[in-house]
């Protein structure tokens, strides 16, 4: 599980940064990736990345401001031309379906795959055997949602070395043990499944917050998350401006991460007044003063989502 940034700028693109789009790479877990927001030019960013649109499985929109969805019609259309044939689901606030229906119909775009559009107003928006995604309303000029992606715990692996000591080789008996069934070897040795299976792997939690100023809605989404991705449009010396425009400062993002008990914080959605990564260092420093495990998002960079281990709250 990895985060890959396609756009980290707020409002408008610049020569240095594109507008918002985030990929959650689930290549080991699902052999796919999910995308969160799709600002103008996102499909160009994908072309410069290791991502392939044919692997895009789900796309979540936080809110209907242009810098978060103007790239969506083009990307959906291009996906078909780039070999994308598997189903794709788009999730977003009320209005996302009308936006896409009109855009794709008026442009006579051909979508050669099953496209499902699901509107939501928060709550549980997706769940299967391995993941669930919940959404919560934030505080912005229009309805904006954050998403909490929870990987479900997975069974522990068999202790291969211990089984080898019993003279047991991979085969049907391994399958029984994995299913939690005790077995008896040909030598009459009883092997209890609980003795040869490692502890379950704790699922990871990733919180991706849309545009917001500090509000009560962020905490339930970010609680105990392994990775929190939070907008940091301004440094804290512009806190009044951030509040006026319904955005957050880097310090406010760090305060949320600390209160939520998060493991790691990634800052993104930077104002274009900060034209380079170097000019973002003051934002990083003010956040790290409150929540040391803070990093700056950077386009075309990969950030692994670490798994916390039992008895180790800080992760690997």
Annotated binding residues for Zn(2+), written as ranges, equal 63, 65, 67-68, 140, 211, 269
Strand (E) or helix (H) holding 6: strand 2-7
Give 134's strand partners: 124, 148
* Residues flagged as binding site: 63, 65, 67-68, 140, 211, 269
Radius of gyration of the CA atoms of the chain, in A: 22
Q: Which of 249, 210, 216 is nearest to 229 (CA)?
A: 210
Task: Give the whole-angstrom CA distance, residue 141 versus residue 148.
Answer: 21
**Residues paired with 41 in a beta bridge:** none
Catalytic residues, which ones?
A: 67
State the DSSP H helix or E strand holding residue 34, giving kind and residue range, or none if neither: strand 32-36
Cβ neighbours of 50 (radius 10 Å): 12
Residue 218: strand, helix, or coil: helix
């Amino acid at each position: 599980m990895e985060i890959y940034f396609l756009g980290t700028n707020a409002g408008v693109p610049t020569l240095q940064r594109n507008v918002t789009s985030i990929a959650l790479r689930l290549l080991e877990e699902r052999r796919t990736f999910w995308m969160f927001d799709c600002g103008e030019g996102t499909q160009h960013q994908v072309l410069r990345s290791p991502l392939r649109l044919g692997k895009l499985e789900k796309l979540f929109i936080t809110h209907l401001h242009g810098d978060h969805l103007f790239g969506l019609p083009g990307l959906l259309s291009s996906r078909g031309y780039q070999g994308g044939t598997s189903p794709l689901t788009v999730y977003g606030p009320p209005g996302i379906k009308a936006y896409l229906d009109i855009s794709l119909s008026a442009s006579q775009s051909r979508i050669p795959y099953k496209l499902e559009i699901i509107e939501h107003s928060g709550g549980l928006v997706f769940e299967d055997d391995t993941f669930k995604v919940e959404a919560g309303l934030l505080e912005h000029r229009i309805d904006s949602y954050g998403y909490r992606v929870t990987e479900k715990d997975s069974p522990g692996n068999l202790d291969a070395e211990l089984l080898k000591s019993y003279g047991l080789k991979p085969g049907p008996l391994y399958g029984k043990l994995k299913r939690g069934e005790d077995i008896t070897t040909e030598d009459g040795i009883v092997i209890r499944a609980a003795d040869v299976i490692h502890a379950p792997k704790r699922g990871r939690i990733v919180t991706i917050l849309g545009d917001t100023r500090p509000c009560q809605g962020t905490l339930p989404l970010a609680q105990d998350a392994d990775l929190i991705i939070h907008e940091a449009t301004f440094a804290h010396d512009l806190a009044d401006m951030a509040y006026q425009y319904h955005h957050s400062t880097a310090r406010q993002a760090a305060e949320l991460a600390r209160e939520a008990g998060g493991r790691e914080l990634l800052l993104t959605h930077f104002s274009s007044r900060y034209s380079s990564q170097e000019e973002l260092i003051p934002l990083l420093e003010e956040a790290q003063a409150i929540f040391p495990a803070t990093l700056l998002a950077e386009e075309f960079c990969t950030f692994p989502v670490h798994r916390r281990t039992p008895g180790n709250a800080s992760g690997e």
